[in-house]
Amino acid sequence: MEQLTIVGKPVTRVDAEEKVTGEAVYGYDLVLPKMLYGKTVFSARPHAKITRINTEKARRYPGVVAVITGADAPWTHGESIKDKPFLAQGKVRYIGEPVAAVAAEDEDAAQAAAALVEVEYEDLPAYFSPEDACKPGAVAIHEDFAGYRKADFIVSGPMPNVCEHFKLRTGDVERGWKEADLVLAERYSVPTIQHAAMEPHSAHAQVDPESGRVTIWVANDAPFRALHEIAEALGVANEKIRLINPLQGGGFGSKGGLKVEPIAVALAYHTKGRPVRVKFNRQETFISTLVRHECIVEIKSGVKKDGTLVARQMALYWGGGAYAEKSPTVCIRGSLPAPGPYRIPHVKVDGYAVYTNKPVSGAFRGYGIPQGAWACEQHMDEIAKRLGMDAVDLRLKNIFVDGDLAYWGEQLHSVGLKETLIKATQAIEWGKKQPGARPTVKRGKGFACISKPTRTPTMSRAGVLVNGKGEISVLAGTVEIGQGCSTILSQVAAEELKVPLERIRMAPLDTDVIPFDASTTSSRSTYHMGNAVRRAAIDVREKLAEMACPMLEAKKPDLAFADGKVFLKDQPQMALPIGEVVRRKLGNEGIVRGDGSYTYEIGKDLDLETGHSDHASAFYMYATQAAEVEVDEETGRVRLLRMAAAHDVGMAINPLNCAGQIEGGLAMGIGSALHEHLVVDDQGRVRNPSFLDYHLATSLDVPKLIPIIVECAEPEGPYGAKGLGEPGLAPTPAAIGNAVADALGMRIYDLPLSPERVYWEIQQKKKKTAA
Amino acid sequence: MRRPEPLEIFQPASIREASAIVKEKGPGGRFLAGGTDLVIAMKEKGLSPKYVVDLKRVPNLSGICEEADGSLTIGALTTMREVETSPAVCKRFPFLAQSAAEVGSIQIRNRATIGGNMANATPSADVAPALLALEAGVKIAGAAGERTLNLGEFFRGPGQTAMLPEEILTAIVIPAAHPNLVGEYIKFSPREMMDLAYVGVAVALVLDGKKRCDAARIALGAVSPTPMRAPKAEAVIEKQILTEELAQRAGDEAARECKPISDVRSSAEYRRAMVGAMTKRALLNAAERPGPVAWTERRERRY
């Protein structure tokens, strides 16, 4: 392989300076000329018919330009089930659902007028857990479900309010139970949490009165998908919609699909061409945008005395909230690998995405993997304990290795899982026991393994432009959501064109100009867009080489590129800067463009009856994280002492950014393990919609972190790279859970591991022991 | 909700002037010190005062002064950060400095004032238990002159104090303390920082060479409508040799006499249990490792 000059190097992020100095402009910062201010009226009932809406007083408030309700916006949308209205249509399904909206000359007027909109309700039975909502006889939250437009893969039922039922059937679990020496059944749960991106949600929209064209300024993580979803909902051609994507201050999945966009668009149809901004504050972001699925996981395994897994059966109940959003695909892609990265001959999985009367659940960094892992990886430790086996040995006996046929029917390659397991557990000195500081303080160690698929098949396209000054613009639809894609893609372009990184610029993201990209989700960008940018850069390089042939009196195969120049391989002094090649051929203002596209070609689609697919994912990400904890039995407090995280990234295009992704993932995972829980009470109200009572981990809650990069190259990936965005938090709670169980000699099945929960579990155990 | 109308703000140059404004404008106004509670309440919690009287131009309201009689005066507008870093406080009452260091973040402590915090009368205020354990008093000034109250009489309920609307808290006075006084403040909250106290426990003890407890003050935060003393727990250890068993008994007693509520943060039962555990820990810490140490080390001692 040719020598790499910048790919693989720990270069500083290209956007670091503008962000740390506060210069960067995010979607939330945007101010447009003649802009109006939008404010939303939210449902005050979890499930109710709207019997009357009176907007008279709001309309008369000084400065108000428009007040709209569902009657003014008769559109619905949804990624795979078109069930979600822009504004409530005759009924509401959760507290926080947008019911009406106001546009006014200033924010205060909009706020005051919104408070004057009167809504009357007639309550319906409401369900606040997936288990209650799918009980026989439960009232349908979507009575018109059968009539909704849906994607082909949607399988609903058999219970009430189940909008997706995923089935995986491999072998025969009944036979498995008979062959097993030990059968263990357990139940785990994960609560609702929120993304809590630093930047809350906002969108700006404008409708051109003459052409009817809609322009939306929004930090959406999938601009082309959002554009299509809006066009489809409005019943207009995609060309009628333009999305301009400013910088995004974090999203973690919450800024895909449509959140604030429908409200802004609906208002913009009533403002006579003036742009309107809808900006959610933190509380509105908590109650009305998106949350992560709460999940109840039933898991049962059959295992031989020597630790060989024989059978595993799982049922996962995903609390979808009031609308389907991405619940069907979270259910599919979270349930499919939930039995863990292990060879198991007999597997049966049922995943149910269930409507509830709670805030809408959807994509969240990890896409269903953390919920399954919380159950599966603790369950593995319980099996090890009952067999009297070391937990690492149990994993080694069963984990995926190259060439294994996974239980969903795919032959695996480039599996770096074993290396991550060994390195992560070594880093916390697995096997070495240490006592706590006091008799009432117990120490423990634990770890967890995961594999994570990526959304497949998807497409990325890119363009690379070279001008007469030798400056390069990269046109890519990947959104800089803080993950570092602008640095990674700049490195790829700089590598292929052999120019310094400073010469690369990422073009602003405008769907009128930028080539198509599926989404900035699912840890897919380095792999898919990396390949597309690489191909585009190679395309433009070939064009430059062709143009340089007559100038250097050479044939193309004799030319090479380095240091921003093209030169003759055997006479390096015969060289031309690439900008000069462009100038000589096309004049001073000339531009040469290269294009690239990448789509992962799949074999068969997922089989709806068995869940099988020979290529369920373009690549798999493997990871093991390990934790050492101290638990204070007098208070229940869990203190993390250190955490190691070994991630198979295929190839680290930027090791510094990889370490950052791992550390950021850990910090987020630690919050979800120890603190985070968006509490919804028995009236459907969110009780802690602020950072005062919704506890993210602070820097002081994060212990010494040991990021470990494992490189098991993916042949199809750019330079061997896979992805890394999501797995950083996926095994974290399970690793900490296992460490807590090791410390206490008892297991806790529900998240978060808050001091109060741990304390009462310890008290209960003491009572049982005494009795 | 943001205000539709502009807000009237006054910036008096004296206490007398400030009181006069309140007398004239009538009820519904608020005093502004650091603003770390008031501004958030206005921006995010729908508080809409009729007017605001900013006290920051009133002279001599901030600063820490060691008086000739051995007492310590802390001006109402002294920031939490000043209390936390004051050499006089760190030397004499390190656990008070500790309690101030537990408030919010450094940025917040650079603005938040000790007087504003007391006047707000939040049950979970971190410095309140430490001040109660030191038997601090408050100086209150109004149009009619100045009066002094014990901090224990000052708090009346959540957000309620013994002050009249036109009265202003001007200083906190910590009486001269016994040279052998040692103390400890433990804030118990799930998160390491940037959190409210779920339970706060301050203890101040006067111990002789044999750990006999000549005087004991135990004060609790976040477990009753106001920060409170725990006299029954104090009685358990007074005139006794402080042992682990005795500290446990005092903790049990404090757990019995506190009056916590259940909310989204914690159940009352858990708060009660933590009062017991933290009181015991605070007593043992105060007795065993007295003297000033770095606050980061002091924090470690809670675990």
The per-residue pLDDT for B4 is 52
How far is the C-alpha of A159 from the C-alpha of A318, rounded, in Å? 13
pLDDT band at B6 (very low <50, low <70, confident <90, very high): confident
Q: How many CB pairs under 8 A join A and B?
A: 56
Residues on chain B touching A108 (C-beta within 8 angstroms): 2-4
Asked if B274 and A635 come within 8 Å (Cβ–Cβ), the reply is: yes
Q: State the nearest Cα–Cα gap between B28 and chain A, in angstroms.
A: 21
The pLDDT of residue B264: 94
Architecture of the domain made up of A294-455+606-770: 2-Layer Sandwich (3.30)
Taking the CA of residue A756 and the nearest CA in chain B, the distance in Å comes to 7
Binary contact (A760, B270; C-beta < 8 A)? yes
Q: Which domain holds residue B272?
A: 181-300
Residue whose C-alpha is closest to residue A465's, from A499, A437, A428: A499
Q: What angle do CA B164, B168, B172 make, to 5 degrees?
A: 115
CA A584 vs. chain centroid, Å, equals 46
What distance lies between CA A728 and its chain's CA centroid? 11
Smallest CA-to-CA distance from A228 within A511, A573, A37 is with A511
Q: Is B241 found in the same domain as B158?
A: no
Q: Is A757 on the interface with B (CB under 8 A)?
A: no
Longest Cα pair distance anywhere in chain B, in angstroms? 65
Phi-psi domain of A622 (left: phi exceeds 0; alpha: psi -120 through 50; beta: other)? beta
Residues in chain A with CB shorter than 8 Å from the CB of B196 are 692
Looking at B149, B174, B199, the residue that finishes a domain is B174
Strands of the sheet with B64-66, listed across from one edge: B64-66, B72-75, B168-174, B137-142, B145-150
Instruction: Please give the residue of chain A at the shortest CA–CA distance from B1.
Output: A111
Domain ranges of chain A: 16-23+458-599, 31-124+198-250+255-288, 294-455+606-770
User: B169 and B199 share a domain?
Assistant: no
Quick check: bond before B123 cis, omega within 30?
no
Indicate yes or no: CB of B193 within 8 angstroms of CB of A698: yes
Contact A389, A151 (CB under 8 A): no
State the amino acid at position A712 in one-letter form: C
Dist. CA A42–CA A88, nearest whole Å = 9
Task: Answer whether A471's CB lies under 8 Å from A479's CB.
Answer: no
Respond yes or no on whether the N-terminal peptide bond of residue A752 is cis (omega within 30° of 0): yes
Which of B116, B147, B174 is the last residue before a domain boundary?
B174
Say whether A294-455+606-770 and A31-124+198-250+255-288 share the same fold: no
Amino acid found at A514? I
Please answer whether residues A84 and A77 qualify as being in contact, where contact means their C-beta atoms are separated by less than 8 angstroms. Answer: yes
> A505 forms bridges with which residues in the sheet?
A473
Which residues of A are less than 8 Å from B277 in CB distance?
A: 634-635
Strands B145-150 and A76-77: unpaired
pLDDT digits (tens, 9 = 90+) for A589-612: 999 999 999 998 776 778 999 999
Residue A640 C-beta-side C-alpha neighbours within 13 Å: 37
pLDDT of B288 above 70: yes
CB contact under 8 A, A283 and B1: no
Closest Cβ opposite residue B192 in set A108, A630, A698: A698
In whole angstroms, what is the distance from residue B74 CA to residue A720 CA?
64
d(C-alpha A230, C-alpha A76), whole Å: 9
Considering the domain boundaries, does residue B99 fall inside one?
A: yes
CA–CA gap between residue A220 and residue A261 (Å, rounded) = 9
- Residue B178 makes CB contacts below 8 A (sequence gap 6+) with B206, B214, B215
Q: What pLDDT digit, counting tens, does each position of B96-152 carry?
A: 999 999 999 999 999 999 999 999 999 999 999 999 999 999 999 987 789 999 999
Task: Identify whether B3 is part of a domain.
Answer: no
B77 and B49 housed in the same domain: no
The fold for domain A31-124+198-250+255-288 equals Aldehyde Oxidoreductase; domain 3 (3.90.1170)
- Structurally, chain B folds into a number of domains equal to 3
B213-221/B64-66 β-pairing: unpaired
Amino acid at A473: S
Find which of B2, B45, B264 to mutate to test the A interface (most A CBs within 10 Å of its CB).
Answer: B264
CATH code for position B187: 3.30.390.50
- The C-alpha atoms of residue A519 and residue A455 are separated, in whole angstroms, by 10
- 3-state per-residue secondary structure call for A221-257: CCHHHHHHHHHHHHCCCHHHEEEEECECCCCCCCCCC
Whether B303 and A639 lie within 8 Å, measured CB to CB: yes
Are the C-beta atoms of A58 and A117 separated by less than 8 Å?
A: yes
Question: B192 to chain A: which residues are within 8 Å by CB?
Answer: 698, 700-701
pLDDT for position A606: 86
Residue B215 is assigned to a structural domain of this protein:
yes
The reply to whether B84 falls in a domain is yes
Q: Which residue of B has its CA nearest to A685?
A: B264
Same domain? B157 vs B191: no
> What is the least distance, in Å, from the CA of A630 to any CA of chain B?
10
- Give the model confidence (pLDDT) of A165-199 as tens digits: 999 999 999 999 999 999 999 999 999 999 999 99
Query: What residues in B contact A441, CB-CB < 8 Å?
Result: 303
Tell which of A681, A688, A756 to mutate to test the B interface (max B CBs under 10 Å): A756
Compare CB distances from B190 to A283, A688, A754 and report the shortest one's residue. A754
Q: How confident is the model over B281-299, as a mean pLDDT?
A: 76
Residue A500 and residue A489: Cα distance in Å, rounded?
A: 13
In the numeric block, which tokens belong to residue A56?
């008279």
**ipTM computed for the complex:** 0.95
pLDDT along chain A (771 residues), means of 10: 88 96 95 98 98 98 98 96 97 98 96 97 98 96 96 94 98 98 98 97 98 97 97 97 96 96 98 98 97 98 98 98 98 97 98 98 98 98 98 98 97 98 98 90 97 95 98 98 97 98 97 98 97 98 98 96 96 97 97 97 83 93 98 97 98 98 98 98 97 94 97 97 97 98 98 98 93 82
Sheet holding A48-54, edge to edge: A91-92, A48-54, A118-123
- Residue B59's identity, in one-letter code, is P
- The terminus-to-terminus CA distance of chain B in angstroms comes to 41
Options 3.90.1300.10, 3.30.365.10, 1.10.274.10, 3.40.50.970; which CATH number does A16-23+458-599 get? 3.30.365.10
Angle of CA points B52, B126, B130, to nearest 5°: 115
Mutation site, B5, B102, B191, interface A, largest A CB count within 10 A: B191
A107 touches chain B (CB under 8 A): yes
What is the tens place of the pLDDT at every residue in B249-268? 999 999 999 999 999 999 99
Give me the phi and psi of A154, to 5 degrees please. -70, 125
What pLDDT is stored for residue A560 in this prediction?
A: 97
SS3 B213: strand
With an 8 Å Cβ cutoff, is A688 touching chain B? yes
Contacts of B195 in chain A (CB under 8 A): 695
Residue B301 in this model has a pLDDT that exceeds 80: no
A436 touches chain B (CB under 8 A): no
Asked if B264 lies within 8 A of A107 by C-beta distance, the reply is no
CA distance A220 to A217: 9
Q: Are residues B91 and B185 in the same domain?
A: no
CA distance linking residue A233 with residue A230, whole number of Å: 5
- Interchain pair A637, B274: CB under 8 A: no
Secondary structure of residue A758 in the 3-state scheme: helix
Domain's final residue, options B146, B174, B202: B174
Contact at CB, A108 and B2, closer than 8 angstroms: yes
A750 neighbors A294 (Cβ within 8 angstroms): no
